[in-house]
Amino acid sequence: MTGAATGDDATRDPLVRARLADPANLAELAGLAPDGPDEMGRELAEGPAAVEGALAAVEHAAPLLAALFDQVRRTVLVGTGASLAVARTAAPSWRKRDREQGRDRALVIRESTAAVLGDADGEAFLPTDLVVAISQSGSSPETVAAARRAAAIGCHVVAVSATAASPLCEVARLAVVTPSGHEGGAATKSALAALAVLLAIRGVVATDAAFRAALAGRLRDVVADWPSAAALGPLLGDAERLWILGLGSAAGLTASAGLLWHEKAHRPAVAISVSEFRHGPVEAARPGDAVLLLDVDPPVTARTGYLELLRDELGRLGVPMVTLAPDAPADQPGVRLGLAPGGPAALEALLRLQQLARATAHAAGAYQDGFRVLRAIVQAAPILD
């Protein structure tokens, strides 16, 4: 189904071969099971079940969701951190689906804090909006405050959360509860489940029992294919800085990856689009860096040529590139996605990114369970209420 192109036979770049050949790193990574023993591994292994349950929750809520959509003119997705990243990941497929079905309804993405601390982003909630607020815990002060503000002016609020008994779900007209449960470290299974909900709400992915089971089975295959991610750990872990480049629908995935790299790998990472990188930040790229390219859309000739141009430019700079895409080159480092381009590939890509972040953290010797700062120093902001 999926697999990595790595090792001496997989690349002609001697720099990449050297980085991939560190026996100490490879031995350590090979000793990790797909489902642990670390916290991140265990939670990654629970991702497919969380996705299956999330799709079942959408199917159960489908009649109420349809009724709410019939009453509004615009949909606003609200979140922060990983929740905002999955909203941005789902948005392109959502809009494409609406166009295919002849729907003419605007979709807006808003960061929770911007929605609360005035309308500096140029947007404002309207009474005719359907606001979908996303928070794994259901208690993010920024997102709860945004949902309350939306509800106060008459918006219909839908909560996407793993916690039914939460402030966010109390505010909402309808709660879609994902069975991702407790999460001790970075958003992994909760992010997968939330992305599945957003894709399913607009019919990008199906929700019937047969599809749910098949998708969960394919994602379990990805979890089991830990060696493909582990093989790339030394290359990514050795990089002085990682440039995470998204293209098309994968632009939102770059934000998810950037969060994961800082939270779990504790390594410098810059998340940006391909064109933005080529028109400025490329000046800062050095041979000690690496590029992670994300692409989940169907192949297009012009895009293929554009990426070949990027790959050539990076080769001249001595910067190795790892590709995560349905058509990842077989002779270069990367992972070829096995699920259909679009929504399903986005789910697989997010799971693969989580695996790669785990592999990077262990290869760099930086992995630890939980958070170093977010639970100890960063405090909730009750002033938002």
In this structure, are 114 and 188 located in the same domain? yes
Tell me the residue range of the domain where 254 lies.
12-33+226-363
Question: What would the mean pLDDT of 111-127 be, rounded to a whole number?
Answer: 82
Percent of the chain clearing pLDDT 90 (strictly above):
66
Question: Is there a domain that residue 91 lies in?
Answer: yes
Angle in degrees, CA 180, 380, 366, rounded to 5? 65
Q: Which residue has the tokens 């794994």?
A: 136
In this structure, are 261 and 325 located in the same domain? yes
The burial class, CB within 10 Å (0-12 / 13-18 / 19+), for 210 is exposed
- Quick one: how far is CA 279 from the chain centroid? 25
Q: What's phi and psi for 247, nearest 5 deg? A: -135, 135
Question: Is there a domain that residue 23 lies in?
Answer: yes
**Rounded distance, CA 154 to CA 325, Å?**
42
Q: Which residue has the tokens 């990682």?
A: 242
Q: How confident is the model at residue 118 (pLDDT cuts 50, 70, 90)?
A: confident
In this structure, are 106 and 193 located in the same domain? yes
In this structure, are 96 and 208 located in the same domain? yes
Which residues, listed in sequence order, are joined to residue 158 by a DSSP beta bridge? 132, 174
CB 86 within 8 A of CB 93: no
With a CB cutoff of 8 Å and minimum separation 6, the contacts of 221 are 1, 2, 338
Question: For the chain, what is the radius of gyration of the CA atoms?
Answer: 20
Mean residue pLDDT of the chain comes to: 88
Question: Is there a domain that residue 373 lies in?
Answer: no
Question: What would the mean pLDDT of 12-37 be, rounded to a whole number?
Answer: 67
CB atoms within 10 A of CB 268: 13
Q: How confident is the model at residue 381 (pLDDT cuts 50, 70, 90)?
A: low
pLDDT attached to residue 15: 47
Q: What is the pTM of this model?
A: 0.91
CB 184 within 8 A of CB 369: yes
pLDDT attached to residue 331: 86
DSSP letter at 284?
A: G
If one counts the domains in the chain, the total is: 2
Domain containing residue 137: CATH number: 3.40.50.10490
DSSP letter at 283?
A: G
Question: Is there a domain that residue 75 lies in?
Answer: yes
In this structure, are 159 and 49 located in the same domain? yes
- The enclosing H or E element of 76 equals strand 74-79
